[in-house]
Amino acid sequence: MISHKLGRIRHLALDMDGTLYLGGQLFPWTQGFLKTLRDKGIGYTFLTNNPTRSIADYIKKLAGMGIEAGEENMLTTSIAAIDYLKTHYPEARKLFMLGTPSMAGQFTKAGFTEAEDDPDDRPDALVVAFDTTLTYSRLCRAAWWAQQGIPYIATNPDRVCPTEMQTVLVDCGSLQRCIEEATGRRPDVVLGKPDPTMLQWIMEKHGLAPEEVGMVGDRVYTDIAMAAHAGAAGILVLSGETTRQMLDAHPEYPRPDFIFNHVGELASALSGNGLSPDGQ
């Protein structure tokens, strides 16, 4: 029997990497999970802290995995950062960015220009993101601009990006710490999960109350914390970064409302076929 709290959900925000796929490999239960949502009339938005790809690139990547998506149900931290800049710094036009060319293209499409790696090309703001194309000189230039006191926005707090490869993918949170160690300055704002803005945007767009929205993800300190900050249901899956041992080792993290091994188990729960032992 489906739980009362789970049964109230009308829309799910879906983390992608570590939740629906890992790196470039789609989980075998993902397609069935999405079909369950469609069959039950539960809306969903693909939401990610990873800004390395533009909306168009994410749609293309999902299509390559057999997942149909459109701009209307895709939300990234690049979009959140663009909205933040336009709201809080409406005169800002030129940005120095640590980010991939695909991400920079999203900002260019929104009307911004990119500053060169040159102390004479002063930007209106600094944007630091997960940058898989990072070079040492650009990291040093970002630290320089942070030291000069211009507005400093970070797209997300993630320390690492989940991967199936035998490596550690250093993410935006670690770049922030590097700049902080070098200059003593932290970002003025860190967007993305756990900041509740993107979930609140979903609620406003679809006319939903917090208890009608769930955040599904593999990280407690971003996905589940975001749900807690927005008053939504936090649904943790153990298919990415978080393990039960990690959860037990960090009692300071917000507790998820539900824990499933993967979204296939969540689909069964939504269908009324039983909850994980950790379901509430």
> Which region among 29-38, 109-118, 188-197 has the lowest average model confidence (pLDDT)?
188-197
Portion of the chain with pLDDT greater than 90, in percent: 79
- Name the strand (E) or helix (H) holding 94: strand 94-98
State whether the Cα torsion 218-203-193-280 is positive or negative.
negative
Is the pLDDT higher at 121 or at 163? 121
pLDDT of residue 225: 95
pLDDT of residue 279: 47
Looking at the predicted structure, is the pLDDT value of residue 123 above 80?
Answer: yes
150 and 220 share one domain:
no
- Write the pLDDT tens digit of every residue in 17-47: 899 999 889 999 999 999 999 999 999 999 9
Write the CATH number for 34: 3.40.50.1000
- Write the pLDDT tens digit of every residue in 250-279: 999 899 999 999 999 999 999 987 554 454
130 and 201 share one domain:
no
* Residue 218, domain extent: 4-49+193-270
Residue 119 CB-half CA count within 13 A: 5
16 and 97 share one domain:
no
Residue 65 lies in a domain: no
Looking at the predicted structure, is the pLDDT value of residue 230 above 50?
Answer: yes
119 and 183 share one domain:
yes
Edge-to-edge strands, sheet with 152-154 = 113-114, 94-98, 125-128, 152-154, 189-190
- Write the pLDDT tens digit of every residue in 155-188: 998 888 878 789 999 999 999 999 999 999 999 9
Q: What is the pTM of this model?
A: 0.78
